[in-house]
């Protein structure tokens, strides 16, 4: 009798242990949906039909857990058609349906299928307005996490449409979390080469890192479309420019337009313009500040040659020594001239004109085409 019990009990224990192990396996199932194998698709089809996709989307709210899981798994590899159907049922559905939709769209974003990525992005943008705050927050987080893919897709299409693009070159080891390894797009320029029309600005709107956009003469875009882009990307600064390009960074100055930096290989560099020069005339226009220089350049086209007048420090000059008390600094001539021009009590026109004449330099500048690589 005791031998019989010993044989039965181990069998019973083994059965119980096996049952518990199976149950634990079911509970520890991964929350990430697994791609659907081709055997699960209807015979002779490589992609599900629209009707099938819509049926699976409706099943995300099914009563049985296994049905919801099966629908999630199938939709995760259903391709571009799944995104719209999923967002449609999720935007006003339950929290679980919304979170399942985020899982599906996340899988589509990682699928390396270009159309699926674009469709998933549009769906996630829709879910940013979902009625449940948790779903909306997850949609925003998913878009942010996949920004490198989003930027890569946008950049490829914008280049085909004729847009100039500049990356931030200072992103490296300390770059902000979630931004592309090679840098984030900071500046774009759209001019007469643009082939995208108003609709193409939707690609620009994908660039969340964008800070400045230049619209050059001849861009062909409507003001309504530009205003819509500003609404989509409220952080951007919109700048209007002509087609011609000088290639400098500027600031306002008491005497005119200060050249802060001359870009390498630019029209300005080839003409001999230097850092810290002050432009006081460009063509037939006086220049009293940075905006005056921008407006003066805008009337010309690439290839035009224009005369510019600048003031430049050229060393100690005898007329100025009479007014110097302290040892001369790097910009002592400019400072003295500013003081004389803006102080009526000390203003001596002959000395001021003589000093300005000694600082005056005339340059001939052949303008180039806009190029954000400079």
Q: pLDDT tens across 66-103, in order?
A: 999 999 999 998 989 999 999 999 988 899 999 999 99
In this predicted structure, what is the pLDDT of residue 43?
44
- Residues ≥6 apart with Cβ < 8 Å to 304: 244, 366, 367
Question: Which contacts (CB < 8 Å, 24+ apart) does range 313-322 have?
Answer: 313/276, 313/359, 314/358, 314/359, 317/355, 317/358, 319/351, 319/354, 319/355, 319/358, 320/355, 322/351
Helix axes 65-76, 95-109, angle to 10 degrees: 30
Identify the band that residue 357 occupies on the pLDDT scale cut at 50, 70 and 90: low
This model's pTM is above 0.75: no
Q: How many residues does the chain have?
A: 374
> CA of 95: how far to CAs of 75, 102, 259, 339, in Å?
18, 11, 57, 69
**Residue 1 pLDDT greater than 50, yes or no:** no
- 147: Cβ–Cβ under 8 A, 6 or more apart, which residues? 178, 179, 180, 208, 209
> May I ask the CATH architecture of the domain 244-369?
Roll (2.30)
Average pLDDT of the segment spanning 40-59: 75
User: If you average pLDDT over residues 52-69, what whole number do you get?
Assistant: 93
**Residue 190 β-bridge partners:** 215
Q: What pLDDT, on the 0 to 100 scale, is given for residue 131?
A: 85
Q: How confident is the model at residue 30 (pLDDT cuts 50, 70, 90)?
A: very low
Examine the pLDDT at 172 and tell me if it is beyond 50.
no
Angle, helix 95-109 to helix 133-145, in steps of 10 degrees: 10
Task: Please name which of 62, 61, 65, 103 lies closest in space to residue 82, comparing C-alpha atoms.
Answer: 103
- 234: its two tokens: 């409220």
Tens digits of per-residue pLDDT, 113-122? 888 999 999 9
For residue 200, give the 3-state DSSP assignment. Answer: helix
What is the predicted pLDDT for the residue at 269? 95
Residues 131-164 pLDDT 10s: 899 999 999 999 989 988 899 899 999 999 999 9
Cα separation, 87 vs 165, in Å, equals: 32
- pLDDT for 334 equals 67
**Cα-based torsion angle of the residue sequence 237, 241, 243, 247 in order, rounded to the nearest 10 degrees:** -80
pLDDT score for 17: 31
| Confidence band, pLDDT 50/70/90 cuts, at residue 340 | low
Q: What is the pLDDT of residue 167?
A: 87
| Beta-ladder partners of 239 | 214
Predicted pLDDT at 168: 79
pLDDT confidence band for 250 (50 / 70 / 90): very high
Tell me whether residue 255 is exposed, middle or buried, using C-beta atoms within 10 angstroms of its C-beta: 0 to 12, 13 to 18, 19 or more.
Answer: buried
C-alpha separations of 226 from 42, 115, 323 in Å: 46, 26, 53
d(CA 154, CA 39) in angstroms, rounded, equals: 34
Dump the DSSP string for 260-313.
EEEPTTSHHHHHT--TT-EEEEETTEE--SHHHHHHHHHTS-TT-EEEEEEE--
**Whole-number pLDDT of residue 323:** 46
Bridge partner list, 278: 258, 311
Residue 301 pLDDT: 94
Query: What are the sequence ranges of the domains in the chain?
Result: 50-145, 151-169+181-241, 244-369
Highest mean pLDDT among 167-171, 251-255, 288-292, 342-346: 288-292
Beta strand 164-167 with 185-190 is: antiparallel
Q: Is the pLDDT of residue 254 over 50?
A: yes
Confidence of residue 165 (pLDDT cuts 50, 70, 90): very high
Q: How far apart are CA 361 and CA 374, in angstroms?
A: 24
Please check whether residue 232 is in contact with residue 205, taking contact to mean a CB–CB distance below 8 angstroms: yes
pLDDT, tens digit, 9 for 90 and up, residues 305-337? 999 999 887 754 444 444 444 444 445 666 666
Q: What is the pLDDT of residue 253?
A: 85
Determine the Cα–Cα distance for residues 347 and 355; give it in Å rounded to an integer: 12
């Amino acid at each position: 009798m005791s031998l019989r019990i010993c044989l039965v009990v181990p069998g019973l224990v083994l059965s119980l242990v096996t049952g518990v192990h199976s149950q634990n396996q079911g509970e520890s199932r991964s929350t990430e949906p697994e791609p659907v194998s081709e055997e699960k698709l209807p015979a002779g089809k490589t992609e599900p039909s629209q009707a099938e996709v819509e049926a699976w989307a409706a099943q995300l709210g099914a009563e049985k857990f296994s049905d919801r899981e099966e629908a999630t798994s199938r939709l995760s590899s259903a391709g571009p058609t799944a995104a719209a159907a999923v967002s449609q049922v999720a935007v006003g559905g339950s929290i679980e349906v919304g979170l399942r939709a985020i899982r599906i769209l996340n899988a589509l974003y990682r699928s390396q299928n270009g159309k699926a990525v674009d469709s998933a992005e549009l769906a996630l943008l829709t879910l940013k307005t979902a009625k449940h705050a948790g779903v909306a927050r997850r949609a925003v987080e998913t878009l942010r996490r996949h920004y490198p893919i989003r930027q890569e897709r946008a950049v490829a299409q914008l280049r085909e449409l004729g847009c100039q693009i500049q990356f931030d070159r200072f992103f490296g080891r300390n770059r902000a979390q979630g931004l592309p390894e090679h840098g984030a797009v900071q500046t774009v320029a759209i001019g007469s080469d643009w082939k995208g029309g108003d609709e193409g600005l939707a690609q620009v709107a994908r660039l969340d890192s964008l800070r400045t956009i230049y619209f050059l003469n001849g861009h062909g875009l409507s003001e309504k479309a530009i205003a819509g882009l500003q609404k989509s990307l409220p952080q951007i600064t919109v700048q209007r420019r002509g087609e011609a390009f000088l290639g400098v960074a500027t600031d306002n100055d008491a005497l005119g337009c200060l050249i802060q930096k001359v870009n390498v290989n630019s029209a300005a560099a080839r003409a001999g313009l230097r850092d810290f020069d002050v432009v006081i005339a460009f063509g037939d226009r006086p220049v009293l500040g940075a905006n005056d220089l921008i407006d003066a350049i805008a009337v010309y086209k690439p290839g035009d040659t224009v005369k510019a007048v600048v003031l430049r420090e050229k060393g100690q000059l005898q007329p100025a020594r009479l007014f110097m008390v302290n040892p001369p600094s790097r910009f002592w001539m400019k400072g003295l001239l500013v003081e004389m021009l803006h102080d009526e009590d000390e203003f001596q026109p002959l000395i001021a004109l003589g000093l300005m004449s000694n600082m005056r330099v005339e340059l001939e500048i052949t303008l180039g085409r806009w190029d954000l690589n400079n």
